[in-house]
A and B are shown apart, each in its own frame.
Chain A
């Protein structure tokens, strides 16, 4: 069975070959509760996303806008632990969950848990990789060391402010995919994306030998239409979390519907 970074890369490639748009939806685990999270994950799987970003809530999410901040508050009411998170992922994978799952959370959670221990738990659970938005490549050596030779995806972010030289380094240290942040700002649905995003995406793609996903602000079919020819995958977060906020336990079917619309724009 495929695992880790290779699982994600293959998943993106397969979808592209089929002419489908590789989406990477994000939800916050435990928002509003674990049953709903699981139900959303199964519904989403039916739309064949490339990968799913499952957020572990952190009290101080500096890279996130109001929508995800509120989701984090809802999720934290369950007082989740990282052990619980890995148990949940393992349970899903034992049931044959077909889509690669990556964990998105802030560095302190892993620092506290122990970097090597986190990697070990991740491998046991069948998690495919990690995104840590407050871990720039300069600070990543201990984390990369813990991940060395394990095959898990270490996904780093590149931003509109990153120089070519930095993007090249970020691509070298990333596996699974490189996450290009479309705009200078925090997560959250936007009406419009920056004008130079396509140009920047072309540049990033030319500097990266692994797939490039683009995220932040993507919330509409127009965005998908505009970006999909230029990116290998598209991350959609706040727009989905907003549905969870509004529909609560009834969100799973609605999320699926929304993803379908995005995919067919």
Chain B
């Protein structure tokens, strides 16, 4: 079955649950995207920018020391999205969407951001394409991630702190949606993950699939076969979808998405919507959610700000229910340890988000058969996290 279907559903998940005002805009976007999706010159332009400006393709690095650290019986490769311009995989998508916005004649870009990575990537793309950019960011996040706020401002974006609700990512999305409802005629909303109403989950997946397409070529060249396991962290799920999607039909490749268990799944401080959430509707899509009995959305928590979201992309919910991917979680502590181990063994400081995938491999490595080939999507670099990690480690002492 081809997903999503015409109505934007991945099995029973997805859809378009937004106020009527936005529905015509979503049709306009869908129509434009389907048109450019078939247009090879659009993709050529996008690929050239990613190549000449952003540094694609990113390497697939064999992590020899880390493999040895894990016992030497498995081979671990890292897909180096941390080396992409602006420090994470986010730019693949923002270059794509802002390019599309330009082609559609939109004159203003808005975006939401949690930790600031997607905000920085959107501001970067907007600077590149010379188009005004407004980024909504939860007020709490603007304090926690003040450097990224400054970065976005340097890149010419206007950053608007959001004081409603939990003052984090979900509220930033609410506010961006409200802006879009108000300024829908000239404004393009660049969503940062495989979430939101149709066609966003499909469109963001397509732009991020470059990660998996490259990985496939690279691993075939290096190993002569496909990997046994691919792992990626899942917040909204764009980096995971990007590396999973080109392997979906390769049934022999096991796909594992790692969510943030925060302080533990039995507490109220985690972001594991797939592991322990239940289906519901948030931000325009039907998917697994962290919610209470009444249907009120719960606050999420993770040491990794980019995973701190109570929802998840609908296609991940679909993969969970069909069993195509497996979803697991690791705690803040485990991610923190992985952050240090990878830094020490490989000289690569991973983002705290990506550290979740690294941590899960550390948990299960001993049970893996000899010769297992594992690819981890190293979705971002950890420079942005060093000061908060320093704080955590000092507090632990």
Contact = CB atoms under 8 A, between A and B. Distances in A.
Interface of A: 58-63, 65-66, 69, 73, 76, 79-82, 106-113, 133-136, 138-139, 156-163, 166, 170, 181, 184-186
Contacts of A81: 293-294
Given A139-B15, A184-B182, A159 B282 contact: no
Nearest to A132: B17
Nearest to A161: B24
Given A138-B7, A139-B16, A161-B20, 12 more contacts: A73-B165, A108-B282, A111-B281, A111-B286, A112-B291, A113-B294, A134-B19, A136-B17, A136-B18, A136-B19, A136-B20, A184-B184
Contacts, number: 119
A221 B24 CA distance: 32
B24 A112 contact: no
B17 A59 contact: no
B23 A138 contact: yes
A84 to B, nearest CB: 9
22 contacts: A58-B295, A61-B174, A62-B178, A62-B283, A79-B294, A80-B294, A111-B279, A111-B280, A111-B281, A112-B293, A113-B295, A133-B19, A138-B15, A139-B17, A156-B20, A161-B23, A170-B20, A181-B21, A184-B181, A184-B182, A184-B183, A185-B178
Given A58-B295, A59-B296, A112-B295, A185 B182 contact: yes
Given A111-B281, A184-B184, A161 B296 contact: no
The 3 closest A-B pairs by CB, nearest first: A112-B295, A159-B21, A185-B182
Interface string B270-314: 000000000111111010010101111100000000000000000
B185 interface: yes
Interface of B: 7, 15-25, 164-165, 170-171, 174, 177-178, 181-185, 279-284, 286, 289, 291, 293-297
A112 B280 contact: yes
Given A107-B281, A185-B182, A59 B297 contact: yes
A136 B23 contact: yes
A76 B292 CA distance: 12
Contact of B181 (A136, A158, A185): A185
Contacts of A170: 20
B293 A62 contact: no
A73 B281 CA distance: 19
B174 A60 contact: yes
B25 A161 contact: yes
A160 B282 CA distance: 24
Contacts of A166: 20, 23-24
Contacts of B23: 136, 138, 161-162, 166
A112 B23 CA distance: 23
Nearest to A66: B164
Nearest to B185: A184
Instruction: Specify the main secondary structure of chain A where it touches its partner.
Output: loop
A133 B18 CA distance: 8
Contacts of A134: 17-19, 281, 284
Nearest to A61: B174
Q: Which of B22, B24, B178 has the most CB of A within 10 A?
A: B178
Contacts of B19: 62-63, 133-134, 136, 157, 159, 181
B120 to A, nearest CB: 24
B74 to A, nearest CB: 42
Contacts of A107: 17, 281
Contacts of A156: 20
Contacts of B18: 62, 134, 136
B299 to A, nearest CB: 9
B20 A163 contact: no
Given A60-B165, A109-B295, A112-B280, A136 B184 contact: no
A185 B7 CA distance: 25
A161 to B, nearest CB: 5
Contacts of A62: 18-19, 174, 177-178, 181, 283
A162 B20 contact: yes
Contacts of A58: 295-296
Q: Which of A65, A107, A158 has the most CB of B within 10 A?
A: A107
B20 A60 contact: no
A117 B25 CA distance: 33
B21 A161 contact: yes
Contacts of B296: 58-59, 76
A163 B294 CA distance: 35
A162 B177 contact: no
A108 B281 contact: yes
B291 A161 contact: no
B291 A108 contact: yes
A60 B16 contact: no
Contacts of B284: 134
A108 B165 CA distance: 17
Nearest to B198: A138
A73 to B, nearest CB: 8
B21 A60 contact: no
Q: Which of B181, B286, B294, B297 has the most CB of A within 10 A?
A: B294
A80 B292 CA distance: 12
A21 to B, nearest CB: 25
B21 A160 contact: yes
Nearest to A84: B294
A161 B185 CA distance: 9
